[in-house]
Chain A
Amino acid sequence: MSTREKVGWGIGGLLIVVYCLFPVAWIISLSFKSSDDISNGQFLPTVFSGANYEQILVGDAAGLFLPALVNSFGICIIATFISCLLSMFAAYAIARLDFPGKKLILSTALAVAIFPVISIVTPLFNLWRQIGLYNTWPGLIIPYLSLTLPISIWTLSAFFREIPWEMEQAAQVDGATPWQAFRKVIVPLAAPGVFTTAIIAFFLAWNDFVYGISLTSTEAARPVPAALGLFSGASQFESPNGPIAAAAVIVTIPVVLLVLLFQRRIVAGLTNGAVKG
């Protein structure tokens, strides 16, 4: 690449990064502004104030935010875990076994994934109220599975297909039962795939708003995105933008951490050297 090309690519890349990260930077800046500063139209706060964070962590909004944070973590982790476990078996079957209806399962999964959430939330609201799932953790975990399972099955079955079948056959010849071969050979090899899937599933659940706001009513099960919508200002004449920005920043942190922690596992080509080279 010539210097000119390098510079061109550099500038292009920078533009895209700035374009993508500007809203994030804006929210971070917003979260440090005091309530007087919020609508002053400047990018940087005149004084850096921790008041917004104080408000959501220990102040008035803490009662709304902290339980929601616990709910979000609990519900999303459980939903992710269940979805990974189920999709691992489903994807393995899809990748390895020949059974009637394989195509049907995959296309149904796709259909579920593209089905608009908003259209099922009302019937679900009624149903949940009648069977007592309304405003409970399972009441959110179950719909979250419908969000996360299809995509998990699709990504994981792609990963499983990549694993050379010889691995498993070698394990079987070496004396492994099909279950042992799955557990000791396939699962470790699919680990990067499982991590990727888990992260995608977690984000899907973590970012959900429609189910969160519709199927909960109190802090017993309300997740963060729904709680953010219910923030109010110190008085009714004050907009709650500051605390919302602060909460948004806090909510973003686990997502960023997750990616940073696992990006090496996601990228790692673990199957390198497995077969001929």
Chain B
Amino acid sequence: MASIEMSHIVKQYGDGFPAVNDVSLDIADGEFMILVGPSGCGKSTLLRMIVGLEDITSGDMVIGGDRVNDKAPRDRNLSMVFQNYALYPHLSVFENIAFPLRLAKVPDGEVKKRVEEAAGVLELKEHLERKPANLSGGQRQRVAMGRAIVRSADAFLFDEPLSNLDAKLRGQMRTEIARLQRRLGITTVYVTHDQTEAMTLGDRVCVLRKGVIQQVASPRELYEQPVNLFVAGFIGSPPMNFLPASVEGTSLSTPFGTVELGAERAEKVKGHDLLLVGIRPEYFEDASLVDEAKKPHGTTFSARVDVTEWLGDAQYAYIPYEAPAEIAEQLKALSRELDSDQLRTQAVVSIDSTSRIREGREAEFWLDTRKVHVFDPKTGENLTRDAEAGRKLTEEAAEDRIEQVERAKV
């Protein structure tokens, strides 16, 4: 067990391209840290620098109080699960799991005991004599985890471990990993581009963009108090809607009507003429289904619905809107950077699944204006971020973690 401290870590490739740029991140002992970001953001590189498969250009990597920059992977006592599992095909499942122990020259009896223990935890007991080639994807994944947990490593590192599984299995393995991590209480660093994994597994999530940390916070804080346009757009599915807006007194005028900000937030956005309002899909609702008591907290507008998607438990409506060319271009660039390619400027709106709003019709929507954020389109900065509220959310998450670890130990 150990904490991992990174200070000013830089990874520069031969051509001078910084894949990871001045990353400082402290991961507490027993914490579950997620590294997330679109492809090419340097998250895997950072993980591989922790484990020692990638050289560190500059900065300090301290694991459990020791500077490990110059240590070989085998001297760092970390265990890693690879994206493609990297099982040894010539060895049985038993020997695959036992491999780290064999290298450490652990006596046979002890090896047998520990492998069987790990296999028990992962329900692999009846497969111990089989070869990896004869296992299903989920079983291979578990063998890879078995190899990681069999020795008492200081930390677990996961490199997109679930990306090769189908959706159903991915959900199962996700909860399995969460349970295992709580039970063992071992520091874990987990790389993913899947935000469901990021939101559900992590105590804290570190969002990276082009090798630079954008924000490190609990999933809740990321969701409710993102620092900038990038984080706001990356976290959440369907993604946050960004509407062009201009300030008028204490309110913003948007394609979907006027959004009242209140004196405090209006003060923060003063002095900008063109702004972006970030509104999550669930801040919208079918106006006819909104409680009268709630209505004053928001604003009602009518718009033409382009497409609706009914998913059973939820329903999404797509509402196209016009945006100034400059904003449209920027939103396009942002969506490209986030690995999606939005073709038109449209808002995704989550409405109740019982709503009778249908595509092609003009409909009344209600928008909850209390939680909207306002961004500066030039810098991407979130102008209305409440740092205090965000800090509180992350603190709560930390308390929850301590409680969960305690409970798992009993």
Contact = CB atoms under 8 A, between A and B. Distances in A.
Interface in A147-185: 164, 166-167, 169-177, 180, 184-185
Given A173-B80, A174-B147, A277-B140, A167 B86 contact: yes
A173 B85 contact: no
Nearest to A191: B90
Contacts of B74: 172-177
Interface stretch (B98-106, B110-118, B235-243, B275-283): B98-106
A277 B133 CA distance: 9
A273 B103 contact: no
Contacts of B164: 276
B103 A166 contact: no
B103 A188 contact: no
Interface string B248-259: 000000000000
A173 B74 CA distance: 5
B79 A180 contact: no
Contact of B89 (A173, A176, A189, A276): A189
Contacts, number: 88
Given A164-B86, A173-B53, A273 B80 contact: no
B100 A275 contact: no
B137 interface: yes
Given A275-B84, A276-B164, A189 B90 contact: yes
A275 B86 contact: yes
Most chain-B Cβ atoms within 10 A of its Cβ — which of A176, A180, A271?
Answer: A176
B190 to A, nearest CB: 15
B103 A180 contact: yes
A38 to B, nearest CB: 52
Interface residues of A, number: 26
Nearest to B164: A276
A277 B73 CA distance: 27
A185 B151 CA distance: 19
B71 to A, nearest CB: 12
B353 to A, nearest CB: 36
Contacts of B88: 167, 170-171, 185, 188-189, 274
A119 interface: no
A270 interface: yes
B73 A270 contact: no
B289 interface: no
B131 interface: yes
Given A166-B82, A167-B86, A275-B84, A174 B100 contact: yes
- List of 4 A-B pairs having minimum Cβ-Cβ separation, nearest first: A273-B133, A275-B84, A166-B86, A170-B86
